Amino acid sequence: MEPIYYMEYSESFKIVNEMYTALYKYRNTKAWGPFKIQDIRTKAYEGAKKRWAELKKISRKERLVKVSFYEDRFTCVTGDVTQEFTYDEIEGIYETDTTLALVAGKKRKKDGFIALKKGSVKGHSLADLKEFLLKKCTKAGSVEHL
């Protein structure tokens, strides 16, 4: 089956850091209580640094991220790891200058978040993808800017 939207980009620390920032921001809105954004960014940076070190141990080579969006789900392939998400799992959509991050609810046991590098959508605009995601990810409500 051909994806509706497709993205491909190289994994980077910046993307991982922004993904963790979105995750901690999401957690702050759900259960953590009020934290200053700087506290969230500091905690996210620590988590991202740890995760990036783990990723570098797994593979010293640059890893390519491939994300395919279908009508009922999307997949993310990074190196030899494949994750699959359904749109109803996504409870938060966060945007930075360079990244669009999708955060799944706590019911998902592992890898409940993904960062998408802006400018990597093939054959469509980022605005088209965001519109598609907002229609599909109804629990997210809207795109929140970090």
Q: Is the pLDDT of residue 25 over 90?
A: no
Q: How far is CA 45 from the centre of its chain?
A: 15
pTM here is 0.76
Structure tokens, 17? 């850091």
Q: Is the pLDDT of residue 109 over 50?
A: yes
CA distance 30 to 28: 6
CA distance 66 to 75: 8
Go through the domains of the chain in sequence order and give each one's CATH number: 5-145 (2.30.29)
67-101 per-position pLDDT tens digit: 999 999 999 988 778 889 999 999 889 888 888 98
Residue of 44, 29, 50, 35 lying closest to 96 (CA atoms): 44
Cα→Cα distances 52→20, 31, 87, 97, Å:
11, 26, 26, 20
Q: What pLDDT is stored for residue 36 in this prediction?
A: 64
Radius of gyration for the chain, computed over Cα atoms and rounded to the nearest angstrom: 15
Q: Which amino acid is at 48?
A: A
